[in-house]
Structure 1
Amino acid sequence: MAKQVLFNQGAGEGVHDRWDNKLVASLERELGKTYAVRYPHMPCEDNPRYAAWKATLVSEFAALEDGSLLVGHSVGGTILTHVLAEQPPKVRLAGLFIIAAPFIGEGGWPSDDIDDGKDLTKRLPPGIPVHLYHGAADAEVPTAHVHLYAKAIPHAVIRTLEGKNHQLNNDLSDVAHDIRSLG
């Protein structure tokens, strides 16, 4: 049976069908048939609201099996991390992989919709491996955000990828490699 991967898209008009679908295609290609990537369309992608995305993610969490993996891109990665910290699924997750996510809180972006991320390590499911990726050439979210996450989640593996943009140049081979390394 294929291992489940839940991919949460970023925010913006048409992101699901015109941008992040390329990330999902890369991840599927790199992981192969032993993984099944689920890619739900998030509500109001051009103006995301935490409560609406949380409701969708909690519903998606209910369908996960033990050993599932979570991947989130940009604002979708931010929301996924916070939802996981607030209301984790009832199954054991194999890992959390966050790509180019803005950090909410001191030094990062403000939000009246998402809580400060400073104590994420205390709120995430115990023992979950966390991998954070950021392209050094990201013009959307400053690279400093991945270092803010590193402070908030000290056990996270951090990868700053040279020459990669906000979409990691539509190449998730590094993410797939790390997913496969978990077994």
Structure 2
Amino acid sequence: MKKTVLFVHSAGPQGQDQGSGNLSSYLNKELGDNYNVVSPEMPEPENPVYAFWKNQLEKELHKLTGDVILIGHSLGGSVLLKYLTEHSCHLHFSGLFIIASPYWGLEENWRSKEFTLQPNFEQKLPAIPNLFLYHSVDEDIVPFAHHLAYAEKLPQATTRELEGKQHLFLHGLPTLVQDIEGLEAAR
């Protein structure tokens, strides 16, 4: 039976060679026939509003059954964390993979009341057995300090500190694929 992967993309233009488009396509190709990668269009990605993204995420989650793997890229990662810590869900999540996500409120130019996590959000995160955080050390879109803040709040997470300045991962993220495939091997 295929495993379901729900991929929530970044803000900004979406499509081939834009935003999370290449990363989503890469995952679809690399995970092959054993996984069903669902990458929904999120509303107004160039001017995202949390309430609209939350509603779309709820619709997508209600379509799914069984064991689900969640992946959030950039804004998609922070939206997943906010949703999971503020709402209950009927699904079992076998993994949560957060890629290059902003930690809203960490720095002056990263303030957004609607996307900011609640204080002590980490205490409200459901029990997800496999939590991974990925971030490029020298990235210039979402500073590496955001990754460190998440790592401090989520010490149970496996952290992947990647070389270079990648944010969009235009050529894929092999470590992510290995970690996803490793979930099955760990069972």
Q: TM over 0.5, yes or no? A: yes
Matched residue, 1:167: 168
Task: Give the deviation of 1:141 after TM superposition.
Answer: 0.4
Task: Give the deviation of 1:59 after TM superposition.
Answer: 1.1
- Return closer, same or farther for 1:23/1:117 CA change in 2, 3 Å cut-off: farther
TM-score (norm 2): 0.90
- Return closer, same or farther for 1:32/1:71 CA change in 2, 3 Å cut-off: same
Cα distance between partner residues in 2 of 1:148 and 1:96: 17
Matched residue, 1:10: 10
Task: Give the deviation of 1:136 after TM superposition.
Answer: 2.0
> After superposition, what is the alpha-carbon deviation per residue over 1:39-85, rounded to whole angstroms, capped at 9, x for unaligned?
11100100111110000001111122222100011111111111111
Cα distance between partner residues in 1 of 2:25 and 2:128: 29
Is the contact between residue 42 and residue 56 of structure 2 (CA under 8 Å) also seen in structure 1? Answer: yes
Matched residue, 1:134: 135
- Return closer, same or farther for 1:45/1:19 CA change in 2, 3 Å cut-off: same
Cα distance between partner residues in 2 of 1:89 and 1:60: 12
TM-score (norm 1): 0.92
Does residue 41 of the first structure (1) align with residue 45 of the second (2)? no
Is the contact between residue 103 and residue 150 of structure 2 (CA under 8 Å) also seen in structure 1? Answer: yes
Does residue 89 of the first structure (1) align with residue 92 of the second (2)? no
Does residue 65 of the first structure (1) align with residue 65 of the second (2)? yes
Cα distance between partner residues in 2 of 1:97 and 1:149: 12
Is the contact between residue 94 and residue 128 of structure 2 (CA under 8 Å) also seen in structure 1? Answer: no
Cα distance between partner residues in 2 of 1:176 and 1:114: 27
Is the contact between residue 9 and residue 16 of structure 1 (CA under 8 Å) also seen in structure 2? Answer: no
- Return closer, same or farther for 1:16/1:57 CA change in 2, 3 Å cut-off: farther
Task: Give the deviation of 1:91 after TM superposition.
Answer: 1.4
Matched residue, 1:54: 54
> After superposition, what is the alpha-carbon deviation per residue over 1:142-166, rounded to whole angstroms, capped at 9, x for unaligned?
0111110011211111111112511
Give percent identity, aligned residues only.
37
Task: Give the deviation of 1:116 after TM superposition.
Answer: 3.2
Does residue 102 of the first structure (1) align with residue 97 of the second (2)? no
Secondary structure of the residue that 2:33 maps to in structure 1?
A: coil
Is the contact between residue 130 and residue 156 of structure 1 (CA under 8 Å) also seen in structure 2? Answer: yes
Is the contact between residue 82 and residue 117 of structure 2 (CA under 8 Å) also seen in structure 1? Answer: no
Is the contact between residue 118 and residue 152 of structure 1 (CA under 8 Å) also seen in structure 2? Answer: no
Cα distance between partner residues in 1 of 2:36 and 2:173: 15
Is the contact between residue 134 and residue 168 of structure 1 (CA under 8 Å) also seen in structure 2? Answer: no
